[in-house]
Structure 1
């Protein structure tokens, strides 16, 4: 295949992907409310629309990101890249991972495809975890909404807290040697130290490779990961859709509005089974504040909801051992709880009753 033909087919594939991603939401709404005849404001309609939209979105992201990262790294010397991010520059690497997470508009499940790509590319594990923690927590739209709703000091403090959580989480993961709890699909083989790319199935390619060869490598990598993760995407989003459509807000307000110290960790734990992105959770934050829930407690609930979710845990189970998932959840629980206590005590948040 010549270069022009390859680029033409690549452009066509990208066009199809963009079209599929663009029509995803109207397609989900048409299927749920038009074809299936479900009520737009009802629990069933919301759950079905959510399931269709998020399943397609995450699968499209999985294919695009894993293929893109694999194609790119097929021409890289990944050991040299790891060396640049490790050692004395590791601290900057944590900041880079957390910062990149802050500018990527992904929910907790949508962050996983890029996490997979980073991990299989050999980026140091703590740096990839910094990304995984920060990515669902911060994006520019949510910051703007928070600034308008609660004031810019609150929004800035939230961004700093999210970045700190990502950096500290990455440091803790590396200090604990948590990479050893990855499943073999993603764990690096210590015997393969050549400056050559290797895919999850064990294939090692020469350093210099043609465009077609890089395509074959990326296709094999995508197929290997997609086949293993995709069924759990469907199961996980299905669970998230049921929670999204049927869990009432009244329970949250009733149990978290008193302001006692223990309501903050309870708020985080209550948020974890739910599933939403940070942009979608801001209106819920406003609703909780209007009903009298303290600012830090409301924020802790929303952080627990967006940073980790039951669908994400189900997906991570396919690439992480339970020890790693438990450590990941413990780190998030501690940081979200600490952030809630901090914001409950901040003077510019104390009077945020809207």
Structure 2
């Protein structure tokens, strides 16, 4: 359906000639922009709904009240490794962790590891390279997440986090225990609004990235990057 719409918009509405570079660029931009934005909205909404029911406050309280001597970074990377999230779906959960008061360094340990170590990559690596290379890759991903999170924590970079992340921390984003037992239209509205608030700040960067990709796809010769 998206392909048909992109084709109709490119060749019928914009009236570009087929088999031209500019037509390829426009088609690529329209198709990929719609596809990625719809995927972002769906995943962000799902993650907002998931975050609403997750006991993030309990996790925060545990991290704050226990001196884990670096184990908190390790636990964050393990959580990032076992959750089947790509970056676009990890970001809403990352924002939720920050809103709940979990330290920035710990949340970055999760964010770094989540897209690096996942079930699909592990399955492919085992089939292609065997267990030793796979374990090395997984261990490297976890170690990279821990080091990156620790460095972010030491550098005290909270002031560089966008203001919208810190706003409305007390507006019941995760819901009370009583509310978490319900699944109502009000919950759907709350999570939908939060998902849109996050997505609309990310969409401009998606359009910029897809636009650059469309230009490369249309005008850069195939094999150029492999050669140079």
Give the TM-score category using the shorter length.
0.7 to 0.9
Q: 1:54 aligns with which of 19, 25, 36?
A: 36
Residue number in structure 2 paired with 1:130: 109
Residue number in structure 2 paired with 1:85: 63
* Structure 1 unaligned blocks of 5 or more: 1-26, 188-198, 256-354
Residue number in structure 1 paired with 2:193: 223
Distance 2:134 2:214 in 1: 28
Contact 1:200 1:224 in 2 (8 A): no
| CA separation of 1:239 and 1:62: change in aligned 2, threshold 3 A | same
- 1:4-47 residue CA offsets vs partner (Å, 9 max, x unmatched): xxxxxxxxxxxxxxxxxxxxxxx4334334675688xx554444
Contact 2:40 2:88 in 1 (8 A): yes
Distance 2:120 2:194 in 1: 34
- RMSD, aligned CA: 3.5
Aligned pair 1:250/2:223, yes or no?
Answer: yes
Aligned pair 1:203/2:171, yes or no?
Answer: yes
Distance 2:128 2:26 in 1: 30
| 1:102-181 mapped onto 2 (5 Å cutoff) | 102-181=81-160
Aligned pair 1:32/2:6, yes or no?
Answer: yes
Alpha-carbon offset, residue 50 of structure 1: 2.0
Q: TM-score, normalised on structure 1? A: 0.50
Q: 1:238 aligns with which of 207, 210, 224?
A: 207
SS of the residue corresponding to residue 93 of structure 2 reads helix
Q: TM-score, normalised on structure 2? A: 0.73
Alpha-carbon offset, residue 98 of structure 1: 1.3
Contact 2:109 2:148 in 1 (8 A): yes
Contact 2:126 2:134 in 1 (8 A): yes
Structure with greater proportional helix content:
2
Distance 1:161 1:240 in 2: 28
Number of aligned residues: 212
| CA separation of 1:140 and 1:43: change in aligned 2, threshold 3 A | farther
Comparing 93-102 with 209-218, which one deviates more in the overlay?
209-218
Distance 1:107 1:129 in 2: 14
SS of the residue corresponding to residue 65 of structure 1 reads helix
Distance 1:62 1:252 in 2: 33
Contact 2:82 2:118 in 1 (8 A): yes
Contact 2:99 2:169 in 1 (8 A): no
